[in-house]
Structure 1
Amino acid sequence: MKRYLTVDDITDILHKSKQRGVGFLLSKLNIFGLKRTEKTFDQLDYKSADWWIVPKVIERWNELTTGNADMDYKEFFVTNYLQNKTGLKLISLGSGASHHEIELAKYDNFEEIICIDIAKNRLLEAEAKAHDLNLKNIKFICADINNYEIPKEYFDVVFFHASLHHFDQIENFVKTTIKDSLKSNGLLVINEFVGATRLQFPKHQIAKINEALRIIPKKYRTRYKSNLLKRRYYGSGIFRMIIADPSECIDSASILPAIHSNFETVLERPYGGNILMSALKDISHHFVELDSEKSKVLDELFLLEDEYLANHASDFVFGIYRKP
């Protein structure tokens, strides 16, 4: 059953008004959806308390995707799949601040890396960082990808880090835009949310997220920059998601089926997120620095998610796919 408005929507509005200011909320009244999306990602000084800021969570991702808690998926990809390959051309669609693309540009394998995004300030920030690092093989283009002409059969790698789930009509996008831009035997690399469209999680997933919340002591459930206590998870409503960012998870459930029908799977590593992402949302800052108690809480959360994943598909996947 779809959820159009939830308690969490109201809480999120109140929370974001404190975090990002009333001006940010007013920007969501813009009638143009692309402008609302752009505003979401173009604020440089915004800090959040999402699961990706927790070092122990990142170690878990690494362990599940590469088998090594100290090796991320980018290093794993280059080391294991690009050995002795040079002169490679990579395009990243929806690169944002381009942190991951800048890391890739440090490898000698790449002759050219192109980063495209609508967030101008983020790209300017990335360009400055690349300049400071004296990276000559990476460039940044501010453009709406839907109106940008990507050269056909030009790239060796098409790369997505948490951006593919922002594209609509995924089957067509994968079949044409992505596939057509790759050379024969070119690689599609994703690190992506591939779960429920518009985050319309099933009831059993929401129940398990609330079970996870009950594991977390009350003192670690105060929301970031707020006195609000996270008591329960209700899920996201479609109305708020469309108003906040019309592109958010717009067709995410179609990502893996579209890729599987158009590409050969080289490697696919699920790493969960079904429980942890929502349980830790807004309270992750409590777990950046750990003591024995906090570490034990995270271990219990990891175990709970592993138990859930034994019978349910992962919401996040690292994958490498080859154009046939």
Structure 2
Amino acid sequence: MRIITLDDFVDTYFKIIQRGSNFFFSKFTLNKEKRTKSAFDNTSFISSYFWNIPKVQERWNILITGNKKTDYIEYLTNHFLKEKKELRLLSLGSGICNREIDLAKHSSIFKEIVCVDIADNLLQIAAKSAKEKNINNITFLAENIDDFDFKENDFDIVFFKSSLHHFDKIDDFLSGKIKQTLKPNGLLIINEFVGATRHQFSKVQIKAINEAILSIPKKFRIRFKSTFLKNKYRGVGVLRMIMADPSECIDSESIMPAIHKHYKTVLEKPYGGNLMLSALRDISHHFYELNKEKEDVLNTLFKLEDNYLKKHQSDYVFGIYENRK
């Protein structure tokens, strides 16, 4: 376990450049809930996150659905739920609810979608979006998950979209509250980071990440909102992870073992991310709009990650699992 690394100081410096000093100082509070909320408060921030790259999204669509133009929401509604009616879905840690709103459009399938998140500002944006689209079968609750009433056999589906890795004591959580609120044979659906807890990647993974970084031409390694090059990834320290967001990947490596222990696998699609998450951090903005050279760079990264995944488990998984009661 790495307590602190050089990258902690480097990343903190660039966070201040990219998100401002107010964001930085928001981390200096003993209140864990406030630090967690601050990680999601800056809704105007235009990030350089790799998952926003259109070609990466196409790659993931292919790995999950087999079609670069079909995302997992369309795949889910058209293949697994199309014969279902009057479903109630609970989304925990729903954020801005973009995917939940997409699901709610299928009113013939979903009677109600309940979105719960601690970040009330994001839910306000989601509520406005739903109203503008005349979507009425979706409810937004701004509250801490610890305060939510998990009624028995209340939901047909529990949905985690990049939020389950923010929960602690995963085995107890999935075998307790989630199993309780799901109906018998109800579905647990995830689209999640399931890699190393607190991003404590192995030396093998860090070496592969650095090989991926060095495969990128220098002109595409200039960090977001700066003139500095990204040359190396050294790993992240646990202390900074906790300071930035106490909930970030707090027990993420327990997700898949817990699911396989307590639920029946209906569908499981690993889609990588092991190298790209760290290799493209702060330089993803170069690849939002592509020419042939940039496309070739991404294709090289994809091949490096595919080779890595031949011997290692994927850090990201889309899965559908059936409740066993």
TM tier, smaller: over 0.9
- The residue aligned with 1:199 is 199
Deviation readout 1:94-150 (Å, 9 max, x if unpaired): 001111101111112101000000001000000000000000000100000012112
What residue identity is the alignment partner of 1:300? T
Q: Distance in 2 between matches of 1:182 and 1:211?
A: 43
In 1: Cα distance, 2:241 partner to 2:96 partner: 22
Residue 91 of structure 1 corresponds to 90
Letter in 1 for 2:274: N
State the 1:316 CA deviation. 0.3
Task: Give the whole-Å Cα distance in 2 for the aligned partners of 1:127 and 1:46.
Answer: 20
Give 2:50's aligned residue.
51
SS at match of 2:223: coil
SS in 1 for 2:311: coil
Kindly indicate whether residue 263 of structure 2 is the aligned counterpart of residue 263 of structure 1: yes
Shift of 1:43: 1.8
Aligned residues: 323
Distance in 1 separating the partners of 2:198 and 2:212: 22
Letter in 2 for 1:10: F
Q: Which residue of 2 aligns with 1:213?
A: 213
SS of aligned partner of 2:39: helix
Aligned to 1:41, what secondary structure does the other structure show? Answer: coil
Counterpart in the other structure of 1:7 = 6
Which deviates more from structure 2 when the two are superposed, residues 45-54 or residues 240-249? 45-54
TM-score of the two chains, using structure 2 as the length reference: 0.98
Q: Where does residue 254 of structure 1 map in the other structure?
A: 254
Shift of 1:78: 1.2
Alpha-carbon distance in structure 2 between the residues aligned to 1:80 and 1:203: 40
Tell me if the contact between 1:185 and 1:322 (Cα under 8 Å) persists in the aligned partners: yes
Aligned to 2:77: 78
* Alpha carbons 1:95, 1:161 under 8 Å: kept: yes
Q: Report the Cα distance in structure 1 between the residues aligned to 2:308 and 2:20, rounded to whole angstroms.
A: 37
Q: Partner of 1:102 in structure 2?
A: 101
* One-letter identity of the residue aligned with 1:87: E
- For 2:38 and 2:297, the matched residues in 1 are separated by 35
The one-letter code of the counterpart of 1:81 is F
Partners in 2 of 1:245 and 1:227 — Cα distance? 27
Q: Distance in 1 between matches of 2:182 and 2:282?
A: 38
Cα distance in 1 between the residues matched to 2:175 and 2:94: 20
Q: CA offsets, 1:152-199, max 9 Å, x none?
A: 111011001100000000001001111111111100000000000000
Question: How far apart in 2 are the matches of 1:157 and 1:82?
Answer: 11
**In structure 2, what is the Cα distance between the partners aligned to 1:6 and 1:241?**
11
Q: Which moved more, 1:19-28 or 1:123-132?
A: 19-28
TM-score in terms of structure 1 length: 0.99
Q: Give the equivalent residue in structure 2 for 1:62.
A: 61
- The one-letter amino acid paired with 2:246 is P
* Mapping 1:57-206, distance limit 5 Å: 57-108=56-107, 109-206=109-206
Instruction: Provide the rounded CA distance (Å) in 1 between the counterparts of 2:154 and 2:74.
Output: 23
Asked if structure 2 preserves the Cα contact closer than 8 Å seen for 1:42 and 1:120, the reply is no
Name which of structure 1's ranges 248-257 and 147-156 shifts more when overlaid on structure 2: 147-156
Contact 1:272 1:315 in 2 (8 A): yes
Looking at structure 1, the residues matched to 50 and 90 of structure 2 have their Cα atoms a distance apart, in angstroms, of 27
Q: In 2, Cα distance between the equivalents of 1:73 and 1:117?
A: 22
Whether 1:322 aligns to 2:322 is yes
Q: Distance in 1 between matches of 2:6 and 2:84?
A: 52
SS in 2 for 1:190: strand
CA distance in 1, matches of 2:276, 2:25: 30
Q: Compute the RMSD of aligned alpha carbons.
A: 0.7
Per-residue CA distance 1:16-37 (angstroms, 9 max, x = gap):
1111111111110110111100
Distance 1:73 1:21 in 2: 34
Contact 1:196 1:253 in 2 (8 A): yes
In the TM superposition, residue 83 of structure 1 has moved relative to its aligned partner by: 2.0
Q: Distance in 1 between matches of 2:227 and 2:94?
A: 34
The share of aligned pairs that are identical, in percent, is: 53
| SS of 2:274 mapped into structure 1 | coil
Secondary structure of the corresponding residue to residue 25 of structure 1: helix
Q: Write the letter of the residue equivalent to 2:222.
A: T
CA deviation vs aligned residue, 1:214-246 (integer Å, no higher than 9, x gap): 110000001111112101001111000000000
